[in-house]
């Protein structure tokens, strides 16, 4: 009889762990299915698949849910919640200030194509977009840096590479958002040097805000429990690559070939280093 409590607890923990794995698989599978549909819409915009924007919004929601659920396999629930809140709050605040003052991204205006606003001038999808960009980039960076995870400089390398991957995603997003979907419009600046109308200061702004987010969120990314060896999680890398595939596809349908070339090259390089690091 004295052994019963010690058997029940592991069984309960195993049951909850199994439920968590099932939820993560269902969310990821749903994301992949919807992504295939949204991707096909870019090739057949006037065909049977239609042009409904609700699928784009649902894809953002599923991507966010998939990445947050994936993070629960590494961190306690309260850490995941705090990380998500920090990313969404700082990213939303920066975007709101940016839309009102042109700082730190440059002068831009959201269009009605991006959907309803949480409050003027912040669209509902922007907080989740920041969560997606930060979590996919950090997860991909963890794979690439896996061989160096026990070195002293690992934390700084992880932050730096995460910021770089966020900026690379934004380089693909801008042509897609401004020329393909017209989610926002950039106003002219005094410096006539841009990337598909996005001023260079925009990418500096993304880097600085990403760095600020990581400065506040990194302590909550750390698991205080004893470290346990776990297999590499490829889901952030897959989402990162699929986002770039979507951006490149949209750019290709509008013949934005420099954007297609940059996104394709960056995706290949990142995939090689991430997979190589994960297999170390």
Per-residue model confidence (pLDDT) at position 180 = 93
State the pLDDT confidence band at 170, using cuts at 50, 70 and 90.
very high
Whether residue 36 is contained in a domain is answered as no
**Number of domains the chain is built from:** 1
**pLDDT grade for 120, boundaries at 50, 70 and 90:** confident
pLDDT above 70 (res 4): no
Residue 12 domain flag: no
Q: How does the average pLDDT of the chain come out, rounded?
A: 90
**Per-residue pLDDT tens for 197-243?**
999 999 999 999 999 999 999 999 998 765 556 789 999 999 999 99
H-assigned helices in the chain: 4-43, 54-71, 77-101, 125-144, 154-175, 200-221, 235-253, 257-278
Asked whether residue 270 is assigned to any structural domain, the reply reads yes
Checking 155-161 for CB contacts under 8 A at 24+ apart, the result is 155/218, 159/211, 159/214, 159/218
How far is the C-alpha of 187 from the C-alpha of 10, rounded, in Å?
59
| pLDDT of the residue at 189 | 85
Specify the pLDDT at position 223. Answer: 82
Would you state the pLDDT for residue 280? 84
Span 129-156, average pLDDT? 96
Give the whole-number percent of the chain exceeding pLDDT 70: 89
The kind and range of the H/E element at 186 are strand 184-186
- pLDDT for 191: 80
Q: Which domain holds residue 221?
A: 61-278
Interatomic CA distance for residues 85 and 217, integer angstroms: 9
Query: Is 172 contained in some domain?
Result: yes
pLDDT digits (tens, 9 = 90+) for 26-73: 999 999 999 999 999 888 755 445 556 789 999 999 999 999 999 999
pLDDT at residue 66, rounded to an integer: 97
**Assigned domain for 72 exists:** yes
> Do the domain assignments include residue 2?
no
The per-residue pLDDT for 6 is 40
Please say if the pLDDT value at position 12 is more than 70. Answer: no
Q: Is residue 243 part of a domain?
A: yes
Residue 5 has pLDDT above 60, yes or no: no
* pTM, two decimal places: 0.91
The residues that bridge with 122 in the sheet, in sequence order, are 119
């Amino acid at each position: 009889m004295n052994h019963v409590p010690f058997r029940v607890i592991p069984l309960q923990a195993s049951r909850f762990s199994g439920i968590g794995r099932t939820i993560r698989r269902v969310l990821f599978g749903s994301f992949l299915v919807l992504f295939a549909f949204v991707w096909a819409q870019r090739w057949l915009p006037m065909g049977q698949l239609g042009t409904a924007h609700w699928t784009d919004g649902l894809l953002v929601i599923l991507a966010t849910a998939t990445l947050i659920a994936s993070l629960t396999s590494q961190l306690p629930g309260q850490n995941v919640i705090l990380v998500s809140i920090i990313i969404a709050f700082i990213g939303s605040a920066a975007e709101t200030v940016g839309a009102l003052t042109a700082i730190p991204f440059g002068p831009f205006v959201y269009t009605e194509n991006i959907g309803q606003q949480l409050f003027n001038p912040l669209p509902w999808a922007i907080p989740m977009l920041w969560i997606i960009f930060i979590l996919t980039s950090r997860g991909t960076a963890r794979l690439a840096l896996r061989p160096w995870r026990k070195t002293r400089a690992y934390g700084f390398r992880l932050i730096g590479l995460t910021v770089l991957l966020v900026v690379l995603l934004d380089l693909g997003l801008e042509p897609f958002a401004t020329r393909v979907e017209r989610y926002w419009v950039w106003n002219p600046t005094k410096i006539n040097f841009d990337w598909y109308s996005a001023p260079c200061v925009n990418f500096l702004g993304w880097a600085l805000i990403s760095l600020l987010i990581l400065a506040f969120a990194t302590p909550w990314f750390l698991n205080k429990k004893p470290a346990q060896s776990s297999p590499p999680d490829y889901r952030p890398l897959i989402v990162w690559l699929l986002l770039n595939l979507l951006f490149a596809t949209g750019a290709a349908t509008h013949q934005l070939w420099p954007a297609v070339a940059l996104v394709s090259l960056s995706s290949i390089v990142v995939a090689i280093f991430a997979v190589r690091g994960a297999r170390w």
